[in-house]
């Protein structure tokens, strides 16, 4: 049996992720401006909900909603990110499926839905599956299992893959300077494309008809020919809790925790 204190540590990490995601939502105030802005808050909303649900799954005392409610929430979330991935794929091609920023969230949401749908409580705890307090949590510490273990394994592999990729990208010089987490500055320049596709992967940069930009960061050489780089201007430009790396860090923490949960319930 997995010791309860290990589950509690992971639950605490999820609570931190939930708090950070809530802080990001509050700081971004997506409800104040145009409609599009609210639509793009989906990432932090997803992080917030998933973190709360996972904390409840890991520690019975943190359970909030009935499992049926969570199943509905994650079914909707999966459908939403599925729609967004399809839309990305229509714009960016099949690379969006592998590298688009919505694809990891689709996998996260799908894994959550799978965990709630496929969980089988152990006989000793078997009182209607995961229903009620201590359902999933009781199952985890009492080692319930998941139906279709191959699916659990595949989800775990995908989650680990995305987490590793995120870690690499977060620590790369293209992300935020040489190993610092300072905000990257984007500078509009002439139409020469010098970057590489991010979500769409290598070679996708040429898809953009928009003016290109040069990414500069920290100690990377900045010859005089480059346009002057305006300083990052505080939280409004994505620093502090709104810094891009914060969202990615939350995603990494959730990906690893989710993989842990899937594997220990195989």
Strand partners for 187: 214
Q: Which is nearer to other proteins, 65 or 198 (CB)?
A: 198
Q: Taking Cα atoms as reference points, which of 118, 161, 142, 138 lies closest to residue 262?
A: 118
b/e burial code for range 186-213 (CB count within 10 A of at least 16 → b): beeeeeebeeebbbbbeebeeeeeeebb
> Would you count residue 165 as binding other proteins (CB under 8 A)?
yes
Interface pick for other proteins out of 35, 90, 128, 210 (rule CB under 8 A): 210
Tell me how far, at minimum, the Cβ of 103 lies from other proteins, in Å.
12
Among 74, 80, 116, 245, binds other proteins (CB under 8 A): 245
- Residues 136, 56: contact at Cβ < 8 Å? yes
CB-CB contact of 37 with 30 (8 Å) = yes
Q: Residues in contact with other proteins, total (CB under 8 A)? A: 93
> Under rule CB under 8 A, which residues in 51-110 are in contact with other proteins?
91-92, 101
Q: Smaller CB distance to other proteins: residue 76 or 226?
A: 226
Cite the beta strand spans of the chain per DSSP E.
119-120, 145-146, 185-188, 213-216
Closest CA to 252 of 200, 145, 175: 175
Check residue 13 for interaction with other proteins (CB under 8 A).
no
Nearer of residues 69 and 190 to other proteins, judged by Cβ? 190
Which of 68, 131, 203, 230 contacts other proteins by CB under 8 A? 203
Listed ranges 29-37, 67-75, 112-120, 128-136: which one lies at the site for other proteins (CB under 8 A): 29-37
Write down the least CB distance from residue 224 to other proteins, Å. Answer: 10
What does the block give as tokens for 169? Answer: 């990208």
Between 6 and 69, whose beta carbon lies closer to other proteins? Answer: 6
> Which residues on adjacent β-strands are paired with residue 215?
186
Q: Which is nearer to other proteins, 36 or 128 (CB)?
A: 36
């Amino acid at each position: 049996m997995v010791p309860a204190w290990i589950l509690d540590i992971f639950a605490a990490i999820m609570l931190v992720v939930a708090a950070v995601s809530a802080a990001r939502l509050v700081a971004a105030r997506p409800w104040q401006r145009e409609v599009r802005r609210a639509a793009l808050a989906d990432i932090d909303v997803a992080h917030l909900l998933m973190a709360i649900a996972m904390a409840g799954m890991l520690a019975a005392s943190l359970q909030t909603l009935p499992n049926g409610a969570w199943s509905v929430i994650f079914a909707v979330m999966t459908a939403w990110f599925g729609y967004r991935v399809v839309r990305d794929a229509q714009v960016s091609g099949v690379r969006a499926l592998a590298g688009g920023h919505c694809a990891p969230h689709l996998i996260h949401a799908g894994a959550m839905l799978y965990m709630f749908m496929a969980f089988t409580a152990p006989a000793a705890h078997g009182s209607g599956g995961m229903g009620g307090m201590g359902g999933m949590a009781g199952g985890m510490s009492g080692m319930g299992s998941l139906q279709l273990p191959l699916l659990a394994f595949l989800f775990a592999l995908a989650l680990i893959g995305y987490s590793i990729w995120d870690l690499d990208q977060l620590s790369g010089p293209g992300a935020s300077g040489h190993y610092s987490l300072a905000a990257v500055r984007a500078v509009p320049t002439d139409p020469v494309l010098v970057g590489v596709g991010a979500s769409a992967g290598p070679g996708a940069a040429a898809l953009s008809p928009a003016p290109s930009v040069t990414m500069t960061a920290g100690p990377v050489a900045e010859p005089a020919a480059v346009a002057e780089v305006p300083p990052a201007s505080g939280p409004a430009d994505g620093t502090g809790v709104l810094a891009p790396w914060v969202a990615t860090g939350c995603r990494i923490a959730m990906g690893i925790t989710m993989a842990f949960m899937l594997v220990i319930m195989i």
